[in-house]
Amino acid sequence: MIQATRPIVLTIAGLDPSGGAGIIADVRTFVHFGVRPAAAITSLTFQNSERVFGATHESADSLRAQILPIVEEGPIAAVKIGMLPTADLVLEIARLLTETDLPAPVVDPVLQSTSGYALMEKEAVEALVTELMPLARLLTPNIPEAETLTGLEIADEADMREASAMIRAMGAQAVLIKGGHLNNGPERYAIDLLDFEEDVKVLSSEWIESPPVRGTGCILSAAVAACLARGMNLEESVVAGKEFVAETIRDAAGLAQRVAGDSENTAER
């Protein structure tokens, strides 16, 4: 048994070699929150900061072979699940959750990349809904993902409430719908909706103008899992995760401004 002073958090997700999303982003987030990272790869993607070029997926046997030694070596305090491209992988994760002491996971339903590349087969989405969603501690879809799962068109907070209720009815213990894709008019603000334990919380924050930041969904779900591992309740974990993502976006905005300023100074010289 590992004698670890820090709780172990396991990410089960795809590998983005460019480091912007997936397991690498998850591990960076775990380290920030002071937990010990462990990881199992579901898919090796071929991508850079602009788009996904392709992927090769692990088998169910390979995924099980990665996870079981980690489970046997020490207790896992929390689990975050990201890219599950095939139905076989979804079903294998569901089996592992029922056969082992793995805690109910935070599931980020990664359906497609920001550039539009499909990251989850249709059969995998169906298995997610029927087999994995009822085992999840929290599901964290963005607006397009929530629309795919429910068949609704989501344009405002009322639609988010309806979608979250539908997802809860599918078996999810809790759902966090991320509202970053909403157009909130000239005075823009970011709202997320947390539906859990017969309660609905609307979490509103300032809108941060920034270039597109990859991996924010990965970072948020990983942060929530890390905070759960550290003993926070679900709402506290979501709030802390949102704050960390906001910091990440502010850093990206600040970097873009500095780069633009350097370019202007160079042009002037």
CB 174: neighbour CB atoms within 10 A? 22
Residues shown for the chain: 269
Q: Which residue has the higher pLDDT, 195 or 259?
A: 195
Tokens of 78: 């929390």
- Nearest-angstrom CA–CA distance, 89 and 154: 29
Residue 259 inside a domain? The answer is no
Q: Is residue 47 part of a domain?
A: yes
- Three-state secondary structure call for residue 51: coil
Q: What is the CATH number of the domain that holds 23?
A: 3.40.1190.20
Taking the whole predicted model, whether its pTM rises above 0.85 is answered as yes
Average pLDDT, rounded, for the chain: 88
Number of domains in the chain: 1
Distance separating alpha carbons of residues 103 and 267, to the nearest angstrom: 55
Q: In this predicted structure, what is the pLDDT of residue 269?
A: 53
Task: Specify if 126 maps to a domain.
Answer: yes
| Domain annotation covers residue 197 | yes
56-97, pLDDT tens digit by residue? 999 999 999 999 999 998 899 999 999 999 999 999 999 999
Could you list the residue range(s) of the whole structural domain that residue 21 is in? 8-204+213-242
Residue at 106 is within a domain = yes
Residue 5 has which token pair? Answer: 């002073």
**What pLDDT score was predicted for residue 76?**
97
Distance of CA 235 to the CA centre of its chain: 16
Convert the pLDDT of each residue in 133-190 to its tens digit. Answer: 999 999 999 999 999 999 999 999 999 999 999 999 999 999 999 987 676 555 567 7
Q: Nearest CA to 189 among 200, 203, 176, 169? A: 203
Helix (H, G, I), strand (E, B) or coil at 10: strand
- Which residues have a Cβ under 8 Å from the Cβ of 129 and sit 6 or more positions away? 149, 170, 171
Is 253 a domain residue? no
Q: How confident is the model at residue 117 (pLDDT cuts 50, 70, 90)?
A: confident
Does residue 22 form part of some domain?
yes
Whether the Cβ atoms of residue 163 and residue 146 lie closer than 8 Å to each other = yes
Q: Is residue 269 part of a domain?
A: no
